[in-house]
Amino acid sequence: MSLSNSYAPWCPACKALQPIWSEFATWSEDLEIKVGAVDITESPGLSGRFMITALPTIFHVKDGIFRQYKGSRDREQFISFVEEKKWQQLETVSSWKAPDSVQMSVLAQFFRLSMVLRNVHTSLTEEYGVPVWGSYLLFILATVIIGALLGLLFVCCIDVCCAQKSGELPPEITKKDDDAAKKQSGDGKDDDEEKEEAEEQEEEEESAPKEKSSPEARKRRTRKAD
């Protein structure tokens, strides 16, 4: 079982709690607990894991279960909180906000990134004399360039995946295409054959009027009239 205090050096409430917390830490052996303190400016990842939105923040941990202490911040209350097991009355941190969950681990990385960017901004403005607006402009340009590169990489990945899928046609489509190709090749004829058929058709059309004007055709007409 342990109690951990998250603080920041610039926080007035944290400065007021520091001597009380140090005195309470001397009771750790008698209470059989571990007492610790975490500077979130040096460990921004922990700030993200525990979703610390107010300072100071005190957490009670036992058997991997986290509870947030919200009582009075004095030594007597801390001691009674442990001795009388008042921590059992507190609501545990939900599973989706548990510090050891995947989503909180990802959030911790974002907190670390924000601290890195903050340090870069401080270095540009204080060490290199870059104006504040110039530092912001550099961050904007870097964001646009990185976003464009990531977008280009994403589009290339999609093109590669789509090209592979389009090259592998379903068996039904390939079968239909094969049947259509066979049918077309069977029905197709050479140019010479097409010319011969056209000439035969013209000869038939020329002979048709002669048959109509012949005597036999006239006799057939009169028989049909009778």
What torsion, rounded to 10 degrees, do the Cα atoms 163, 168, 169, 171 define? Answer: -170
Domain ranges (residues) in the chain: 2-93, 102-161
Catalytic, 157? Answer no
Tell me which of 11, 156, 157, 161 is the catalytic residue. 11
Tell me which of 14, 157, 161, 162 is the catalytic residue. 14
Mean pLDDT by 10 residues, the chain (226 residues): 86 92 88 88 79 86 86 88 87 78 79 81 86 90 92 89 63 55 52 66 62 50 48
In terms of pTM, does the model score above 0.85?
A: no
Catalytic, 162? Answer no
The residue written with tokens 């941190």 in the block is 93
The angle at the Cα of 98, spanning 96 to 102, to the nearest 5 degrees, equals: 70
pLDDT of residue 2: 84
pLDDT of residue 168: 54
pLDDT of residue 140: 92
For strand 2-7 and strand 34-39, is the pairing parallel, antiparallel, or unpaired? parallel
pLDDT of residue 15: 92
Encoded tokens for 71:
């009582």
Task: Decide yes or no: CATH 3.40.190.290 for domain 2-93.
Answer: no
Q: Give DSSP secondary structure letters for 88-148.
A: GGSPBPPGGG-TTSHHHHHHHHHHHHHHHHHHHHHIIIIIS---HHHHHHHHHHHHHHHHH
Encoded tokens for 221:
């007409």
